[in-house]
Amino acid sequence: MNEGQRTYLALALLLGVAFLVRVFPGSFENLVDPDAHFHARMAEQIITEQRVPAWDALSMQGRVYTYPALLHVALAGLSIFSGLSVFWVIKLFSALYGTLSVLGVFLVARRLFNARIALASALFVSATLLHVLRTDAFTRPDGMALAFIPFVLLAVLEHKWVLAYLSGIALVLLHPLSTIHILVFLLAWVVLTRVKKWGSGNTRVPVLGLVLLVFGVWVLWAFSFGLPLENYASKLSFESSEFARFALLDFAVFFSVSWVFALAVLVGRNKIPVEQTSKAFLGLWLVVCLAFAFWGLRLGLYLSLPLSILAGLGLVHAFERVRPYYKAFVGVCAVLFLVTLIAGLSARGPYQSLGEGRAMEWVKENTPFNASIFSAWDRGHQIAYFTRRPVVIDGYFEFAPQLVERNRSMWEIITTANCSKIALHMNKWDADYFFVHRSALKDRQYQNGILEARCPSLSSVYASDDARVLEFNG
C-alpha cells in the first residue's frame, strides 16, 4: 500500500469516526437544541403545503416567513426521499454535513499545503469541541454553513468559478450571517494580493465578481420581504448569551487541543517551511474568523476551520521534531483529544425533559387550537412544535414583529407577583396561558415573581415536578 492509499484509508476511517461522534446525541428521545424544533416544524409545513411557506401562523402569534429557506427545503426533501420523519432527518443530517465539513477542511489544507498536513487538519476539526457541538444532532443553518465554507474557498483556490458562485449563493440562502464573514475575508484577500502583487487581475476579478454576486443576492433576499432591514439583526439578538464576548477560557475549552498546536506554529512561524501565499491565505482567514469570534461567542464556530488547519500544520511539524518518541507523543495527543471530547459531550442531553413533553401534550389536548401561549422565549420553539399553538415569543428573532415589546412583557410577567401588572401584559398580547419550564420552577426570579402571584385571573391548570401551566382569564 503506497502513501496515497494509506492517506485515503486514514481519511475514510477519520470520517467514519467523525460521523459516529456526531450522530451519538441522535440516540436521545428528544432534540438537543430548541431551534431544531422550529426547523422541524417548518420542514413539516413545507411537506404538508408542498411549497415554501409565506406565513408562519405559530411564531410570534403569526408572522411573515422570513427565514432563509434552504435548510427547511433540504430537510423536507430528505424526509420525503428517505421515508424518515423530519425529526429523525434532523438528527442524522447534521452529523452528515458535520462530516462533510471535515472532508472540506482536508481538501482545503491539501490544496494549501500537502496530504499529511491535510489529514492532521481533518483530525483536529473532527475532534474540535465547538465544531462537534454545532454539528451533532444539532441541525442549524450556521452549523450547516461549516460544510459550505470550505468548498466555497476551495473553489476559489482552484479557480472553479461556477462552483464558487453557486456555493456562495447557496450559502446566502442557508445562513446570511455566514456569508458576511466570507465576504469580508475574500475582500481582504483581494486587497492583500493586490498589495503584494500575487497572482493577476484574472484571479482578482472573478473573486470580486463572487463578492458582488453574493452581496447582491443577500440584498435581494433581505429586501424581498418589505420589512425594515434594522429588524433583521435586533439588539436583543446581540444581547443574548450566544453573543457574549469570547473569552480566553472559551478558547481553551471549545477548541480542545487545537489551540496548543496552532500557538506553536505562530510562535515558531519562521521555522516552518511553507509557501508564502498559502501561509498568508490561512493567516488572513484566521484573523477574520478571530475578529468575528471576539465580536460574539456564537460566531466563534467559524474559527474552528482555519484553526484546525493551523493546528494540523503544527502537529506535523511537532511530529517531525519528536519522531524518536512518536509513540508517547501520539498517546498524549490521543488522551488530550479524548478527555476534551468526553468532557464536552458528557454534558449533552435532550433540551426538553419527558415531563415537559407531557405538559405540552396536555396543552395540545386541553386548550383551544387558537390559544396563545406565553413562555420564556427560548422555550417558544418547543411549545409551538409540540402543542401546535401560537406562541407570543420564541427564538426566531430575525424580522420579528414587536420583538422588544414582547421580550419586555415576558420579563415583566416572569419577575412580578403583582396581579395588575401580570394582567396588563397578558392582555397586551391576548395571551391565554403561561408555560413554566422545569428549570424555571427552581429559578428565584420565577419563584419570587409569577409563581408567587395569587391572582383571581390566574390559575394553575397543570402542575408537575417538570412544568406548570398557568391559565389567564382576564
Residue 451 has what pLDDT?
A: 95
Residue 8 has what pLDDT?
A: 86
C-alpha cell at 41: 416544524
Residue 252 has what pLDDT?
A: 62
Per-residue pLDDT of the chain (474 residues; tens, 9 = 90+): 677 788 889 899 889 988 988 887 666 677 778 888 999 999 999 999 999 999 999 999 999 999 999 999 999 999 999 999 998 898 889 899 999 999 999 999 999 999 989 999 998 998 888 888 888 877 788 889 999 999 999 999 999 999 999 999 999 999 988 898 899 999 999 998 888 777 666 678 899 999 999 999 999 998 888 888 777 766 666 555 454 555 555 556 667 677 778 877 777 655 666 788 888 899 999 999 988 887 766 778 899 999 999 988 888 887 777 666 556 656 666 676 676 666 666 666 677 888 999 999 999 999 999 999 999 988 999 999 999 999 999 988 889 999 989 999 999 999 999 999 999 999 999 999 999 999 999 999 999 999 999 999 999 999 999 999 999 997
Could you tell me the domains of the chain? 3-30+85-345 (no CATH), 354-472 (3.40.50.12610)
Residue 432 has what pLDDT?
A: 97
- Which is it for the CA torsion 29, 90, 61, 296, positive or negative? positive
Q: In the sheet where 458-463 sits, what is the strand order?
A: 373-374, 433-436, 468-472, 458-463
Is residue 93 within 8 Å of 139, Cβ to Cβ?
yes
Amino acid at 49: E
Residue 301 has what pLDDT?
A: 85
Q: Percentage of the chain surpassing pLDDT 70?
A: 85
Q: List CB contacts of 357: < 8 A, sequence separation 6 or more.
A: 30, 386
Residue 82 has what pLDDT?
A: 94
Is residue 171 within 8 Å of 153, Cβ to Cβ?
no
Q: How far is CA 9 from CA 19, 20, 97, 317, in A?
A: 16, 17, 20, 22
Residue 341 has what pLDDT?
A: 67
Is residue 370 within 8 Å of 432, Cβ to Cβ?
no
Q: List CB contacts of 294: < 8 A, sequence separation 6 or more.
A: 245, 246
Residue 258 has what pLDDT?
A: 78
pTM over 0.85: yes
